[in-house]
Amino acid sequence: MMKAASLPLALSLFLATAAVSYAQAPATETAVNEAVIRQANRIALRQKLGDALGAQTRHDLPTAAKLYDDSWELVQKIGYVNVEPEADQARAGLAAVRLELAREAQRASNYKAAALHINDVLRVDPSNAAALELKRANEQLLAEQKGRIPDDETLSMVPSIQKDRIDANTKVQTARCFGRWGRSTRPRKCFSKRSKTIPKIRPGIIT
């Protein structure tokens, strides 16, 4: 009787142990996969930081800014404490480049673009003193500019209006070309002459 009762008990213990081992296997595999992904992100982070510094040295600021932004995203994925030196480099590089771009935008009276650059700095470094000071000055300039520039919706329509005008003028010049040279003229000759007669439109000005 004792022997009959011990068999189901042993079987139950065996099945319980097997179930625990089976449950641990996926967890171990997940941990390994996460470690591999973190290492791959570390390599990508160092590569992007190197590329960003190169672009910054060449004074290709828009490219450098994008690369520093990408670097910061990788820092967030890896975890700041796991790549602290690289994280500090990404933050410092992003701030230096974006603040310079913001000042350039201010000199061009493009205060809305300047605000985007400043806010990007504060996104990664909320206590950045230079960014906070520049933000206050930029907000004052934006306030003074109100009522003297078109709204964002109107400005967003300008490229489309310019394209429509260019397309219309192109068709006019094409019609003149065929009218002048006749439809039997080879298209290459007409297009060559047309390219010299399309009116130029200065950026930001609709005529």
Q: In this predicted model, what pLDDT tens digit does every residue of 119-168 receive, in sequence order?
A: 999 999 999 999 999 999 999 999 998 756 555 555 565 476 667 778 77
What is the model's pLDDT at position 33?
77
* 70-78, long-range: CB < 8 A, 24+ apart: 71/45, 72/124, 74/41, 74/44, 74/45, 74/48, 75/45, 77/38, 77/41, 78/38, 78/41, 78/42, 78/45
Handedness of CA 14, 17, 23, 27 (dihedral sign): negative
Tokens 């296997």 belong to residue: 25
What is the model's pLDDT at position 132?
98
3-state secondary structure 32-95: HHHHHHHHHHHHHHHHHHHHHHHHHHCCCHHHHHHHHHHHHHHHHHHCHHHCHHHHHHHHHHHH
Residue 206 has pLDDT above 70, yes or no: no
Across residues 105-110, what is the average pLDDT? 95
pLDDT > 70 fraction of the chain, expressed in percent and rounded: 63
Q: How far apart are CA 75 and CA 122, in angstroms?
A: 16
Q: Which two tokens stand for residue 2?
A: 């004792």
Best CA proximity match to 56, nearest among 22, 19, 90, 106: 90
Across residues 11-33, what is the average pLDDT? 60
Looking at every residue in the chain, the average pLDDT score rounds to 79
pTM of this structure: 0.61
Indicate the range of 79-83, 100-104, 107-111, 201-205 predicted with least confidence. Answer: 201-205
Across residues 89-101, what is the average pLDDT? 98
Res. 30 pLDDT band, cuts 50 70 90: confident
Q: How far apart are CA 148 and CA 39, in angstroms?
A: 52
Q: Give how far Cα 134 sits from Cα of 69, 105, 120, 148, Å.
A: 20, 12, 13, 22
Indicate the range of 57-66, 122-131, 135-144, 184-193 predicted with least confidence. Answer: 184-193
Res. 73 pLDDT band, cuts 50 70 90: very high
Across residues 2-24, what is the average pLDDT? 53
Q: Give how far Cα 112 sits from Cα of 43, 45, 139, Å.
A: 35, 30, 9
What is the model's pLDDT at position 153?
55
What is the model's pLDDT at position 12?
60
Q: Which two tokens stand for residue 169?
A: 């003028």
Residue 18 has pLDDT above 90, yes or no: no
